């Protein structure tokens, strides 16, 4: 994947895994973390065996740990006696879902595991990274050399700050809002559940303007806006289109849209996926940024977050087996595929694939 440098386990967590059971072996593809300061020597020092090719890791692994979903070229390595632990974004890829079914692989996905407060502990830090990065990107693409119309996001004496609308008041959205407020922007937040968002410190302190995501609220927020951050997430299903093409005319000419949800279809009707090498395009005079693997360019920070939050599940799988891991709080929702069936009912129904209820698996002796 274009400029994707995140790793599934950082060296310190490799060491933790090996310390938990001396019989474990960890294979790491050579050069895996070189781009982000995790050298092969660091992995060796942690106790891993560094092998020249990814093919070797895939073929020998019983538990394969990744951050992003397998590439199409890697589907051939999926097999029935393998456990795959990875983000999948399964709701947006019938091809990947079909590959999981065809291979019979057992697939565990941290992004669909809710925490005790329904806060998705593995997904949340990556969402935090994406939200903060989205705010940085809005500021960057306001600049003329990036295609913007030359706006300083926080304004200056005698010149007002940029108006930025954040669509969605979840982890992504409120981290984007927090960063934008810190840069001095005039920040508006849209959400369907304002009662949930109203307890956020930014709202309590009147640092953002919070509106219902109704048609009236959307039009009010977008009128005269310079930028929009799309931050809508509906777990295990494609993202609803909140901002329509007809809304673009409400933005100031040369406005900027960054849709963090583009990997699940996006909450902006006019968004489509781009790459880090060619990240933007214009629709009706509005610059659109649609890179699906945004945190991949801040891969060191993102990898440390992902690895640390994943460790409780990885340790449980490695030491007790995946069925025992599913008994952890919320972990049943982490089973995305098993035995040629999909573990997410909404995905199975959407793609017409067979469904397996994870609960029945842990109840079976």
How many Å apart are CA 9 and CA 278, to the nearest integer?
Answer: 29
Residue 140 inside a domain? The answer is yes
State whether 205 and 322 are in the same domain.
no
Q: Indicate the residue among 253, 274, 292 that finishes a domain.
A: 292
Q: What is the pLDDT of residue 293?
A: 85
Q: Please check whether residues 269 and 168 belong to one and the same domain.
A: yes
Mark whether 242 and 195 lie in a shared domain: yes
Same-domain pairing of 207 and 59: no
Domain contains 2: no
Classify residue 256: in a domain, yes or no: yes
* Pair (192, 174) in one structural domain: yes
Q: What is the pLDDT along the chain (365 residues), one digit of tens a residue?
A: 678 999 999 999 999 999 999 999 999 999 999 999 999 999 999 999 999 999 999 999 999 999 999 999 999 999 999 999 999 989 889 999 999 999 999 999 999 999 877 688 999 999 999 999 999 999 999 999 999 999 999 999 999 999 999 999 999 999 999 999 999 999 999 999 999 999 999 999 999 999 999 999 999 999 999 999 999 987 667 789 999 999 999 999 999 999 998 888 899 999 999 999 999 999 999 999 999 889 999 999 999 999 999 999 999 999 999 999 999 999 999 999 999 999 999 999 999 999 999 999 987 55
| 255/246 Cα distance (integer angstroms) | 14
Domain boundary among 292, 315, 348: 292
pLDDT at residue 364, rounded to an integer:
57
Same domain, yes or no, for 303 and 349? yes
Give kind and range of the element (H or E) at residue 165. Answer: strand 163-167
CATH number of the CATH domain containing 57: 3.40.50.720
Q: Tell me: do 328 and 250 sit in the same domain.
A: no
Give dist(CA 189, CA 173) in Å, integer: 8
Alpha-carbon distance of 358 to 363, in angstroms, equals 9
pLDDT at res. 365: 54
Among 275, 292, 309, give the residue marking a domain's end. 292
Residue with tokens 């490799």: 14
Residue 209, beta-bridge partner list: 188
* 184 plus 257 within the same structural domain: yes
What is the rounded CA–CA span in Å between residue 172 and residue 65?
24
240 found inside a domain: yes
Q: What pLDDT, on the 0 to 100 scale, is given for residue 2? A: 74
Whether 84 is covered by a domain: the verdict is yes
Total number of domains in the chain: 2
Asked if residue 141 and residue 226 are part of one domain, the reply reads: yes
317, part of any domain: yes
Enter the tokens of residue 7.
């790793």
**Do residues 138 and 287 share a domain?**
yes
What is the domain extent for residue 330? 11-113+299-363
According to the model, what pLDDT value does residue 359 have? 94
- Start-end of H helices in the chain: 11-20, 40-46, 54-60, 94-103, 123-141, 171-182, 194-197, 201-204, 215-222, 299-320, 322-325, 345-351, 358-363
- Looking at the structure, do residues 325 and 273 belong to the same domain, yes or no? no
Give, as one character, the DSSP assignment of residue 156.
B
Assess whether 27 and 52 both reside in one domain. Answer: yes
Which residue matches tokens 């697939």? 107
Any domain includes 129? no
DSSP reduced 3-state for 291: coil
């Amino acid at each position: 994947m274009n400029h994707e440098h995140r790793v599934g386990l950082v060296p310190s967590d490799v060491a933790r895994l090996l310390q938990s059971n001396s019989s474990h072996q960890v294979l790491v593809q050579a050069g895996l973390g070189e781009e982000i300061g995790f050298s092969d020597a660091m992995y060796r020092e942690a106790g891993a065996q560094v092998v020249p090719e990814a093919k070797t890791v895939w073929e020998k692994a019983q538990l394969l740990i990744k951050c992003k979903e397998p590439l199409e070229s890697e589907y051939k390595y999926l097999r029935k006696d393998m456990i795959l632990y990875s983000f999948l974004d399964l709701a947006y890829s019938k091809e990947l879902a079909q590959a999981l079914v065809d291979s019979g692989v057992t697939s565990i996905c941290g992004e669909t595991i809710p925490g005790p407060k329904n806060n998705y502990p593995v997904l949340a830090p990556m969402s935090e990274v994406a939200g903060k990065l989205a705010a940085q990107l809005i500021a960057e693409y306001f600049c003329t050399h990036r295609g913007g119309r030359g706006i300083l996001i926080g304004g200056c004496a005698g010149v007002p700050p940029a108006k930025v609308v954040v669509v969605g008041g979840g982890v992504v959205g409120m981290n984007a809002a927090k960063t934008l407020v810190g840069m001095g922007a005039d920040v508006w937040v849209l959400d369907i559940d304002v009662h949930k968002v109203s307890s956020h410190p930014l709202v309590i302190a009147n640092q953002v303007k919070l509106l219902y995501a109704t048609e009236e609220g959307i039009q009010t927020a977008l009128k005269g806006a310079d930028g929009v951050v799309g931050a809508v997430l509906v777990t295990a299903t494609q993202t609803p289109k909140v901002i329509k093409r007809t809304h673009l005319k409400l933005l100031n000419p040369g406005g900027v849209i960054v849709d963090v949800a583009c990997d699940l279809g996006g909450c902006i009707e006019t968004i489509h996926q781009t790459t880090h090498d060619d990240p933007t395009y214009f629709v009706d005079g509005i610059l659109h940024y649609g890179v699906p693997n945004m945190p991949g360019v801040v891969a060191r920070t993102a990898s440390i977050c992902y690895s640390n939050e994943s460790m409780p599940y990885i340790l449980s799988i490695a030491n007790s087996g995946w069925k025992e891991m599913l008994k952890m709080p919320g972990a049943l929702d982490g089973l995305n595929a098993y035995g040629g069936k999909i573990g997410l009912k909404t995905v199975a129904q959407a793609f017409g694939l067979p469904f397996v209820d994870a609960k029945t698996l842990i109840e079976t002796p």
